[in-house]
Structures are given as C-alpha cells and as structure tokens.
Amino acid sequence: MKRFLCEKTDDEVRKAILDAAEKRFKQYGFKKTAMSELAEDVGMSTSNLYRYFSSKLDIAEAFALRCFAEKEIGLQLLLEKPLDSAVDSLVVYAKGLLQYNFDQLYVYPAINDMIMALCEASSEMVDKKREGELSILKVILKKGQEEKCWEIDDLDETGLAIMASWVMFSTPTFMRHQTLEQLEKRLSNLLNLIITGLKVRE
C-alpha cells in the first residue's frame, strides 16, 4: 500500500478530510461528529486520520480557518466596489459582517455548538478571528484617514474599540433574541454615533 486512494497528495487528502468535516461540523457540531464518521466519509481507517491531522481539535481549527477565509473573501468582495467612501465602506463592512453571522446561525443548525467548542478549547482561534476582522477594519479606517474625512490617533486602538462595540452583533446569544431587522437598525444607529460622535459640530 503506497498511497491513499489513487496516489493523492497529502494536501488533497487533508482537503478531502476537511470537506467531510465541514459538512458534519456544520450540521451536527463538534461533539456530535465522530472521527470514525469522517474516516468512513473519506474511505480510510480512523487511525489513519491522525497521519493528516494531529487531533479532532486540529481538524476543527482548520475548518475554522477555512470559514474565516471564506467570510473574509466575501466581505472583501463587498468592499471592492470603488464608489464607496470610507463611511460607506464601514457601513457595508459592519452590515456585511452582521448579515454573515446571522445567516450562519440560521443556515447551519450546529454552528453555535461549533463556535462554543472552539472558543472553549482554542483561544488561539478566537484571536485569529478578531485579528482577521480587525485587519479589514483597519484598512477602512486608514482609507478614511487618507480621504481626510476621519481623524484617528491610533488605528489599532480605535479598531479594537469598534470591534468591542460590535460584540452584540456577532454573539449568537444576543442575536438569537432579535430579528435581523432589529439588529440592523441598532447597528445602523451605533455606526452613526461612531462616525459622527455625540459632540456638537460647528
């Protein structure tokens, strides 16, 4: 026996495993998908999975990274329309993020389980998620600076403050209690506030 199923490369095998994992994780969550099921899905023994991923958590993390990448690609696409001012970009980004989070929650029955499992087991993934979203936000903030329409002392701190203010719009517990319309309205008001500020303008 030289190679798994018709001479696939390691990366191809890893991808096959991840594809199977993605389906099961999204539908059944972390705890309720078994390594043996993934093995069966890709047609190998359970023990052989460990030649491609060091653990179940390792698979989950790879799955999360794939989700993050997909999400970021989708959001970048929304932001590429060149007509947007920095204000428009910020609004598009914030609303896109909300829409994405909301959709995931309702399209994939077990995505919440998955998030909980990953948050508990891997603070690294929590950091990666924040860093990914923050880096896009910082591009928008910088654009605002360059357009001379925003005044920002510290891009990082401001970005983190904004992300902190968005927690309600990315946390399943809070999203579950409101409709998308309600969330969008609230986010819209918050964005206006962040952009304009409370202080009167002369």
Partner DNA sequence: CCACTGAATATAAAATAATATATTCATAGT
Partner DNA sequence: ACTATGAATATATTATTTTATATTCAGTGG
Residue ranges in contact with DNA by CB under 7 A: 1-5, 13, 31-36, 44-48, 50-51, 54-57
Q: How far apart are CA 35 and CA 49, in angstroms?
A: 8
* Smallest distance from DNA to CB 37, Å: 7
In contact, 69 and 59? CB cutoff 8 Å: no
Is the sign of the CA dihedral 143, 146, 152, 157 positive or negative? Answer: positive
- Interface with a copy of itself includes 193 (CB under 8 A)? yes
* Smallest distance from a copy of itself to CB 201, Å: 7
Q: Find which of DNA, a copy of itself, none residue 193 binds, CB within 5 to 8 Å per kind.
A: a copy of itself
* Smallest distance from a copy of itself to CB 140, Å: 10
| C-alpha torsion 110→116→181→95, nearest 10 | -110
Task: Map tokens 């989950």 to a residue.
Answer: 60
- Interface with a copy of itself includes 197 (CB under 8 A)? yes
Q: Which residues contact 90 (CB under 8 A, 6 or more apart)?
A: 137, 140, 144, 191, 195
- Interface with a copy of itself includes 200 (CB under 8 A)? yes
- Residue placing its CB nearer to a copy of itself in the complex, 65 or 152: 152
Helix, strand, or coil here: 45?
A: coil
- Residue placing its CB nearer to DNA in the complex, 14 or 130: 14
- Residue placing its CB nearer to a copy of itself in the complex, 6 or 198: 198
Phi-psi map region of 170: left, alpha, beta (phi>0 left; psi -120 to 50 alpha): alpha
Tell me, what amino acid is at 193?
L
Q: Find which of a copy of itself, DNA, none residue 152 binds, CB within 5 to 8 Å per kind.
A: a copy of itself
- Interface with a copy of itself includes 151 (CB under 8 A)? yes
Q: How far apart are CA 86 and CA 153, in angstroms?
A: 16
- Chain residues that interact with a copy of itself, rule: CB under 8 A: 123, 141, 144, 148-152, 157-158, 160-162, 164-169, 171, 174, 177, 186-187, 189-190, 192-202
